[in-house]
Structure 1
Amino acid sequence: MTFSTYLQQQQFSTATVGAYNKQLEYFTQWLDQEQLSPVDMTYTELLDFIRWLQAQGKSKGMVRSQLCILRHYFNYLVATGKRTDNPAAGVFIRGLSRKLPSNLLSVQQLQQLYDQYNIQLYVDLGKKIMLGLLVYQGLTTDEIERLEAPHIRLKEGKIFIQGTSRSNERWLKLEAVQIIDLQRYLAVNRLKAGALLAGQKKGFISANNIINQVNSIMRQLRRLNPKVQNAQQLRSSVIAGWIKQYNLRQVQYMAGHKYVSSTQRYQTSDLEDLQRSLRRHHPMG
């Protein structure tokens, strides 16, 4: 199995596979120069490679990108039995700014939005269901787009979210109010397969249609609460609420984050706290 094949099995796009192989040339160039093998490379030698990149004038963003690729590459070597460890695991670059969730809504505010949306505004059942998926399961617009009727298990009270190259698959609990609405929607539309929320006779949802519907929902929500910004804000608010109820790994699973570091940022209240957290992970200037 080649590195490209491994990445494809991990559901990376063709463009990403090509980019990763192209950028990996920096690493292979350095290995040849140092007469080293990736199979025997140590953590100390990995730091040497990072220093070499810095000496070449590469930006911190570039170094971070290289580390990301190397984490996948060493995982590939482990998967093929050529290594037993990943020396790049847990290695991060200090000093890179990461966008922090801001202007979040509380769990109470999210619930109030959902209740008011159904009572005060005239909305169709499809939009009501989509809003529920945003405020209860914290789904992204893309995840709503990929939903299919078989992913809904009404009797079990749960929903399946497909994974992608950037997110993990997971099962999430449905709230009682959602189950009632979904039963009505499925009965009315007689959906046995294909997309769930299209509001169309065809099976799959048009991406433009979903984006337009979600944007319409956001405009309606701003009439109820001017603090509402977009679907990403709702998702971030949901995850921040989960952090207060569940342990970190549970929230990582529920959010579909591939890396726990994506979940950890919801535990920080400001950039200074985040930077202190990052210093605990192999700090490098």
Structure 2
Amino acid sequence: MDWPSAIKGFKTYLKLERSLAANSIEAYSRDLQRLYQYADTLETKLSPTKFTLTDLRNFINWANELGMIPSTQSRVLSGIKAFYKYLLMEDMITSDPSELLETPKIQRKLPDTLSIHDIDKMIAAIDLSKPEGTRNKAILEILYGCGLRVSELTELRLSNLFLESDVEFIKVTGKGSKERLVPIGGEAIKALKIWIEQVRIHIDIKKGEEDLVFLNRRGSRLSRVYIFMLIKQLAELTGLRKTISPHTFRHSFATHLVEGGADLRAVQEMLGHESITTTEIYTHLDREYLKSTIIEFHPRN
């Protein structure tokens, strides 16, 4: 089996058998392309089915020498392991060479966060005299109030909003097309209703986009790039020195919940994290808060 055929078959398997989203399939495909690139550098060209554990370890060393950071290596190896499980399941190989492959240890970096004051300043900087200002305020309120990923925000549907006073949640489609329910608070609901009921109704909406919550002036969906540019512009307007992105609002959402005493499992559920270890990174603020409290109030300090 040659590499192009193997990659094509793997992508079909991910789409039909595992029902992965297009973005996830492309990410897996890029991971596999890196292994293909490595195989192409060897004197003896290795086909996908000829790789051994030693060959895969040599690939990791090669990637490391090229400057690939551990977090990227870890993600690439995840794609490669999935690929060899696919080959084993399809009886193209008799044993999985990636089974004993060690994933590089990653030093978990604490995410940048914004204070509530910073977030209030950015929202206050939005020009509400313009129609898009009403929409942009709703965007920031949703990013911070619900902790959405930027792709989840741009794909948010009217049919997935449940804003009645006895319910108040939104249904979000996250990574791997997994759905989750996220509670939505008063400020976000208020901003969302003003955008939908007072501004959005006057837009001539493009066919096929009728159910999307956030639209541009031409009635088309907003791009991820636009959301990034909006955040950058508001950060500059308010004089924020931090390098922030839409994801910073998600980090702030989680951090402020944990700092306020929210149950970690509940935060995991709202963020759509598959593993609790991903959510545990937000407990750093709990520890910092406890430390500062001890220093300030303990009689021996």
Smaller-chain TM-score bracket: 0.5 to 0.7
Amino acid at match of 1:254: M
Percent identity over the alignment?
19
Q: Select 1:233's aligned residue among 248, 256, 262.
A: 248
Q: 1:129 to 1:29 in 2, by over 3 A?
A: same
The answer on 1:151 being equivalent to 2:160 is: yes
Q: Select 1:252's aligned residue among 268, 271, 279.
A: 268
The answer on 1:163 being equivalent to 2:178 is: no
CA contact (8 A) 1:152 1:160 kept: yes
Q: 1:268 to 1:159 in 2, by over 3 A?
A: same
Q: Select 1:187's aligned residue among 183, 187, 197.
A: 197
TM-score by length of 2: 0.60
CA contact (8 A) 1:131 1:217 kept: no
Q: 1:88 to 1:12 in 2, by over 3 A?
A: farther
Q: How does 1:105-116 map to 2 (within 5 A)?
A: 105=114, 109-110=115-116, 112-113=117-118, 115=120
Shift of 1:218: 2.7
Structure 1 counterpart of 2:143: 134
| Separation (CA, whole Å) in 2 of partners of 1:246 and 1:264 | 12
CA contact (8 A) 1:4 1:21 kept: no
Structure 1 counterpart of 2:30: 19
Q: Select 1:4's aligned residue among 6, 11, 14.
A: 11
Amino acid at match of 1:185: W
| Separation (CA, whole Å) in 2 of partners of 1:248 and 1:77 | 37
Q: What is the Cα-based RMSD across aligned positions, in Å?
A: 4.5
**Bigger mean CA deviation after superposition, 67-76 or 147-156:** 67-76
CA contact (8 A) 1:71 1:89 kept: no
TM-score by length of 1: 0.63
CA contact (8 A) 1:139 1:235 kept: yes
Q: 1:200 to 1:67 in 2, by over 3 A?
A: same
Q: Select 2:74's aligned residue among 54, 64, 74.
A: 64
What whole-Å deviation, never above 9, does each CA across 1:113-170 have from its counterpart, x for those lacking one? 55556668653322221121122122343332222322322123112222245x8542
Amino acid at match of 1:161: V
Question: SS of 1:147's equivalent?
Answer: coil
Structure 2 counterpart of 1:272: none
Larger relative contact order, structure 1 or 2 (CA cutoff 8 Å, min sep 6)? 1
Shift of 1:173: 0.9
> Structure 1: 5+ residue runs without aligned partners?
35-45, 270-285
CA contact (8 A) 2:180 2:272 kept: yes
Question: SS of 1:129's equivalent?
Answer: helix
The answer on 1:198 being equivalent to 2:198 is: no
Structure 2 counterpart of 1:281: none
Q: 1:263 to 1:75 in 2, by over 3 A?
A: farther
Question: SS of 1:160's equivalent?
Answer: strand
